[in-house]
Structure 1
């Protein structure tokens, strides 16, 4: 046989012909189909899970940091900051810092319509509250206009629990009371609900109450000081680069904490879960690749006489090996491409799919009470998607090597001895 170039047309013809099994070889064909479906499902599952985990992290980060800020500045001894306006002005002048606001934060009990619960009070000026786009974009213009003396803003879930609406009153009871000749009495004061906000994160919508800064200072007996300053930066992922400049602007005796310090446990848990899910779901592709090994190995055994005849006609070992490499990689490439399309299509319509499934099954498939969010987030990263595709193709290639090598090493004499 005349020596042919690698991956010649006849090699492709033989490989594809071997994949189209006859009735007597249907079991081998079934294994090939299972391998293809397994790789497709593995790739699609990995793409979907990684996209959901990315979207979950991004959405949570935006909501949590949209409320809590990226940098917290406090006194090292825990006392209040008296000259907070001057310090805020110096920090605001730093490149990369978008906004700085004085903040009063504390806990209290709220009572309305016979229902009582614990809440977190956050005292902010009207201008600083408007800078919190996560909150201000969900408020009506009337709510912002009414936000002032003896008024508060509460979340929609808290309003539902307490049976409140804008214009109604509630009572707040501070944990630290007023000292009187008869002892310490709880501080209780009535406030009017100026409006309702909806952050979309149930944990915040049912526990946070926004109050004007001066009212919060009075409620917590802080005088003219505030416990801390909050700063928003343009790039939260590189907030550590701004810490030295913020520390220098804040002055001696001040402590600077970033969101990585205050929220590190939560986000590290999300990142760890993301890595573990990736490793576990990769096993789906590994199992599918092992099916390619078993299917090709059985195909080599079944086609031993054909391989022997090809070898006696002059086909080289490399040519035989390439035939089975093409056969195995065809399964891997088709399965990977099908999984890629399935994963991308699912991620693009994941919220629609969730709503349809909820209507069909009648079950809440993504409860905000459990997951904090009211929708299914999905955010695909091109680099991660390509890494999944490359990994699937690499595993498919490695799975074909041993069966193809065995086919190339087959002795024509031994193969034809009993034919």
Structure 2
């Protein structure tokens, strides 16, 4: 009785390796092997490079969406005070901000007063979202403390008003000019609420790079903003900025636990839900299209293995008469296709990682070909996103390529295993 061998025995690898190294007379098989390998390598390269650029594009898009806005705005539900008046103002904001600062993953918690006002300078008027923060907290706000460009001195913020660059341009003001702010919810009197008008010197103009922020945003010192917006002794919200904005949903539970039962959140994803859904749909479509490219590349393995099985019919018959089982024959030809898929996948991943790592060199090549500098092309509307290499993307690309390679290899390998040795040797 013939002794059974363990699956994927060394001799099966040896035979598969010999078949991969086709002789000169079987050059067609060798050519198909190289075509399959190069096709898989290029497809995986395209997948890894696309995923890296897509990750960089998403990061830049999220950064653009966030601008100077909070990752989480924490508000209070309205509650009745001792006089029976419903009030949603946060009175214990210093203690609350201190507790939230201690939550792991929170970079900073900024108590903020917010109101909608009209800004006026001469004959120019513009709607403005007025934010009241302390001078120390202003320096913690990305896009304001670290702007793309700025005029004036943020250290003088306690003396006046900070404006977004486009808003200042619309009002026709610069540092040192005076802006009148008109609030419709102003001073309360026995005859009703009268609009409140105050004038402030512009001490700082920032450009955050976020169009909406630069067009509508103004900052006022907390000490001035609270009485102006009728928030004496309180704030409207606590602005939280996180280490990882993408993990905002995971941060909600610890943040709300630290904030207490009256608090409720409003995240940046809530503000931009529609845009993020469109971005996710675009990502899914991109995955499908590039995955089809990988599938097409792996299909070349089938044609190469079919040619190999046809050319090796005599060898298969001899191996079967020598005692090799159908399982051994199947594993031999499966190994041939799997080795092609593995080598192609490794080469493709290496090329994709190299492309992402040297993305700036690629952009320099674009400059050379186009004859224009990167900055000039960006001024014309071209966008050059960074490439971010993520382990999850690499594993996903490699897993897809290997899975498809193993799957398509199975069918010609099974055909080889089922070949009748008598028929294979009849005309030999």
4+ residue segments displaced more than 6 Å:
111-116, 160-163, 177-188, 363-371
Q: Deviations over 1:113-162 (max 9, x none)?
A: 9876554332211111122255313377962122133322324x555677
Aligned to 2:385: 376
- CA gap 1:119/1:338 in 2 versus in 1, 3 angstroms: farther
Aligned to 2:17: 12
- CA gap 1:355/1:135 in 2 versus in 1, 3 angstroms: farther
Is the counterpart of residue 329 in structure 1 residue 338 in structure 2? yes
In the alignment, the residues of structure 1 paired with residue 143 and residue 351 of structure 2 have an alpha-carbon distance, to the nearest angstrom, of 33
In the alignment, the residues of structure 1 paired with residue 343 and residue 418 of structure 2 have an alpha-carbon distance, to the nearest angstrom, of 27
Query: Is 2:161–2:218's contact at 8 Å kept on the other side of the alignment?
Result: no
- CA gap 1:214/1:204 in 2 versus in 1, 3 angstroms: same
Farther off after superposition, 337-346 or 263-272: 263-272
Farther off after superposition, 87-96 or 346-355: 87-96
In the alignment, the residues of structure 1 paired with residue 317 and residue 287 of structure 2 have an alpha-carbon distance, to the nearest angstrom, of 43
Matches within 5 A, 1:32-181: 32-59=33-60, 64=66, 67-76=69-78, 79=87, 81=89, 83-88=91-96, 91-92=99-100, 95-96=103-104, 99-108=108-117, 118-138=127-147, 143-155=153-165, 165-168=174-177, 174=183
- CA gap 1:8/1:218 in 2 versus in 1, 3 angstroms: closer
Farther off after superposition, 178-187 or 228-237: 178-187
Aligned length: 407
Query: Is 1:99–1:232's contact at 8 Å kept on the other side of the alignment?
Result: yes
Aligned to 1:240: 252
- Normalising by structure 1, what TM-score? 0.76
The CA deviation at 1:51 is 2.9
Q: Which runs of 5+ in 2 are unaligned?
A: 80-85
The CA deviation at 1:35 is 3.2
Match for 2:301 among 286, 292, 295? 292
- CA gap 1:91/1:318 in 2 versus in 1, 3 angstroms: closer
- CA gap 1:180/1:66 in 2 versus in 1, 3 angstroms: closer
The CA deviation at 1:344 is 0.6
Query: Is 2:152–2:205's contact at 8 Å kept on the other side of the alignment?
Result: no
In the alignment, the residues of structure 1 paired with residue 236 and residue 208 of structure 2 have an alpha-carbon distance, to the nearest angstrom, of 24
Query: Is 1:202–1:369's contact at 8 Å kept on the other side of the alignment?
Result: no
- CA gap 1:405/1:216 in 2 versus in 1, 3 angstroms: same
Output the aligned Cα RMSD. Answer: 4.4
Query: Is 2:179–2:200's contact at 8 Å kept on the other side of the alignment?
Result: yes
Aligned to 1:204: 213
In the alignment, the residues of structure 2 paired with residue 206 and residue 287 of structure 1 have an alpha-carbon distance, to the nearest angstrom, of 48
In the alignment, the residues of structure 2 paired with residue 321 and residue 309 of structure 1 have an alpha-carbon distance, to the nearest angstrom, of 15
Query: Is 1:15–1:324's contact at 8 Å kept on the other side of the alignment?
Result: no
- CA gap 1:187/1:86 in 2 versus in 1, 3 angstroms: closer
